[in-house]
Amino acid sequence: MVTLPSVAIVYDGHARCAAPRTQGSLLEDTPNGAPEVRCGEGREFLALEVGWPSWVGVVAEDLDAQRRFYRDVLGLTELAAGLGWVQFDFGDKGVLELVQRSGEPQYDHARYQVGYTVADLESARDTLVSRGVRPVTEIEGDAQAGGRWCYFLDAEGNIFEIKERREQPPH
């Protein structure tokens, strides 16, 4: 298996090859059941399976003003809130979360961020790091927080999240 600077993402069973641009892709099953993607001229590597974005974050300068905008102007329903954050319901599709800007690198200036759901956070994180993707944080969160997550930088320095959702154990 050859590791390339290009990336393949599998979504709904379809592989997409990204930079460098290639002509087409082929999704195959490997002996261990992981999807394998061929991008371009015989180059192969294991694909990282990510789902449709399940979380969109807005890092806010003024959390109260943003909260009023998304709740009162756009009419979104609040799910939960805490010190420095508020979440809005996107139904089965996911969550919009407003987060107060802070000194933490993932929240250090106002911006939008996208979070992708993965089945196994440790494995996905290890795969991204092995492919040269720069992590911004270690793994954070737990079942009480609705799952675990970590942040990375994409090729242009934009922050994105991968998230593993877990159900809270019954009390």
Q: What are the pLDDT digits (tens) for 6-42?
A: 344 443 444 444 443 333 433 344 444 444 444 444 4
Sheet holding 25-29, edge to edge: 25-29, 35-39, 43-46
Pair (63, 136) in one structural domain: yes
Q: Per residue in 154-164, pLDDT tens?
A: 877 889 999 98
Do 63 and 122 lie in one domain? The reply is: yes
| pTM of the full structure | 0.59
Containing structural domain, residue 31: 8-49
Domain check: are 45 and 108 in the same one?
no
Answer yes or no: do 144 and 73 share one domain: yes
Give yes or no: residues 41 and 108 share one domain. Answer: no
Closest to 59 in 3D by CA, of 117, 20, 112: 112
Query: How many domains, in total, are found in the chain?
Result: 2
Residue 13 lies inside a defined structural domain of this protein: yes
The CATH number assigned to the domain holding 99 equals: 3.10.180.10
pLDDT at 74: 79
Looking at the structure, do residues 29 and 109 belong to the same domain, yes or no? no
Same domain for 90 and 60: yes
**Same domain, yes or no, for 66 and 105?**
yes
Residues 45, 57 share a domain? no
85, amino acid identity: W
DSSP for the chain, written as a single string:
----SS-EEEETTEEEE-SS--S-EEEEE-TTS-EEEEETTTEEEEPEE--SEEEEEEEESSHHHHHHIIIIIS-PPEEEEETTEEEEE-GGG-EEEEEE--SSGGGSSSEEEEEEE-S-HHHHHHHHHHTTPPBSS--EEEGGGTEEEEEEE-TTS-EEEEEE--PPPP-
Whether residue 169 lies inside any domain: the answer is no
Asked, for residue 170, whether it belongs to a domain, the answer is no
In a domain, 171, yes or no: no
Do 28 and 107 lie in a common domain?
A: no
Q: What is the C-alpha to C-alpha distance for residues 41 and 36, in angstroms, rounded to an integer?
A: 14
**Tens digit of each residue's pLDDT (9 = 90 or more) over 59-72:** 999 999 999 988 98
CA dist 86 to 14, 57, 77, 83, 166, Å? Answer: 34, 10, 11, 8, 20
Instruction: Judge if 84 and 133 occupy the same domain.
Output: yes
Percentage of residues of the chain with pLDDT beyond 90: 39
Degrees, nearest 5: CA angle 26-118-133: 75
Q: Are residues 71 and 108 in the same domain?
A: yes
